[in-house]
Homo-oligomer: A and B are copies of this chain.
Amino acid sequence: MAKLNDNYLKLKAGYLFPEIGRRVKAFSQANPDAKIIRLGIGDVTQPLAPAVLKAFHDAVEDLASKENFMGYGPEQGYEFLIDTLIEKSYKPLGVELKTSEIFISDGSKCDCANILDIFALDNKVAICDPVYPVYNDTNVMIGRTGEADEKGYYSGLTYLPCTEENGFTPAIPSEKVDIIYLCYPNNPTGAVASREDLKKWVDFALANDAVIFFDAAYEAFITEPGIPHSIYEIEGARRCAIEFRSFSKTAGFTGVRCALTVVPEELMADTGSGEKASLNKLWNRRQSTKFNGVSYPVQKAAAAVYSDEGWAQVKETIDYYMENARLIREGLQAAGLTVYGGVNAPYIWLKTPGGMSSWDFFDKLLSECHVVGTPGSGFGPSGEGFYRLSAFGDRQNVIEAIERIKNNLA
């Protein structure tokens, strides 16, 4: 008698974004003429960079001839892409990585979910609250938790509240934890970590033999100098951190699919018999056995992001989105709202007016302004009373959305 994984039944609701999709669909079916502006899911809207498109086409064309045809690639990714990342993305930060330390994948969502495969179930895990729901849900699915309480906290996980009071910067946990998820620039709050903030985490991890999962998916949106783009800019992080990065937001690859995960060779974890073993080797084995590499033309397109021409074009789009962020932030502030983020991150985290609940505010903006954002409570209990807007829209839509919200709240 086949038995299913009961842990899935502990999951309280649908994944956040499908739920938003359902509400928007219902509204638009009832109001077919409403021009809905979506600043919710954080999906990009601007075309790929011309240099990236050219490399993509050229690589598709390689598949047209026997001579240039590419079949199975390395599960870890092609060296042409890995070495480009080492040279163009990490070296300028003063971070030295080896080819064997970067693993190319089809998405950070997959990687930060799949990374749990190589850890024992009895690790104590800490996540921020609010948080990218994937961190929480994948720990539930793998069986690390009990049921959720009425707030939505699952027993067995350590939650680190990120609130207005602590400037959305979680305190170092007082209890011992083995794995800590950090995301900077933060989704959903838009907060960033200074060098000193990250050093505290690295020191804590080294002192406790803990591992940090560092999600740097939004590092390209940092505009202020001095803020680390990689956790490996911090001394000692190679011995305690795995870093996730993505082309999704950086280069408009949400529909193209490419990401990378860094697992330094020095990074060790304990075996059941009290020895240390290399997590790099385990992740390599996991990827070799359960994954078959990223589409060849996609990897070629990704490498072109870091050509001089490609990066200039990609940077222009990043600047475009960050100008959106400024317009949203300042527009909402002018409307009297309390607003966070949007300076070094493409997300604006606003406090709902009058203590309205996140979903009530979502429904209000959907029905009255035809604007879709993301309810803060969807990211965790401490997100209640907040609402996330994404800066990835088209400029005219962003301007119109903010006007509608300003008029509605006036």
State the A residues within 8 Å of B (CB): 1-6, 8-9, 11, 14-15, 18, 41, 43-48, 50, 53, 56-57, 60-61, 63-66, 69-73, 106-107, 109-110, 113-114, 117-120, 122-123, 133-134, 137-138, 141-142, 178-179, 208-211, 252, 254-257, 269-272, 277, 279, 282, 285-286, 288-298, 394
Complex Cα spacing A254 to B71, Å: 5
Tell me the complex Cα distance, A58–B5, Å. Answer: 41
Report Cα–Cα, A92/B333, bound state, in Å. 60
16 of the cross-chain contacts (CB-CB < 8 Å) are: A1-B178, A1-B210, A2-B179, A4-B118, A4-B269, A5-B118, A5-B282, A6-B271, A9-B271, A53-B61, A56-B297, A63-B252, A71-B252, A106-B294, A107-B292, A255-B293
- Residues on B with C-beta less than 8 A from A4 are 118-120, 269-271, 277, 279, 282
Interface centre among A3, A44, A107, A297 (most CB of B within 10 A): A3
| CB proximity of A117 to chain B, nearest CB, Å | 7
Q: Taking A41-B72, A138-B290 as contacts, is the C-beta distance between A15 and B285 under 8 angstroms?
A: yes
* Residues of the B chain whose Cβ atoms lie less than 8 Å from the Cβ of A9: 271, 277
Besides A2-B269, A8-B118, A14-B288, 5 other CB < 8 A contacts?
A1-B270, A70-B255, A71-B254, A72-B255, A257-B295
Which B residues are CB-close (under 8 A) to A134? 289-290
Interchain CB contact under 8 A, A113 and B2: no
B290 touches A178 (CB 8 A): no
Q: Is the CB of A120 within 8 A of B5?
A: yes
A295 in contact with B292 (CB, 8 Å): no
**Neighbour of A290 across the interface among B109, B123, B270, CB < 8 A:** B109
Q: How far is the CB of A58 from chain B (nearest CB, A)?
A: 10
- The answer to whether A289 and B138 touch across the interface, beta carbons within 8 angstroms, is yes
Are B15 and A288 within 8 A (Cβ)? yes
Closest to A298 in B: B295
Residues of B within 8 A of A118 (CB): 4-5, 8
Q: Is the CB of B57 within 8 A of A69?
A: no
B289 & A15 in contact (Cβ 8 Å cutoff): yes
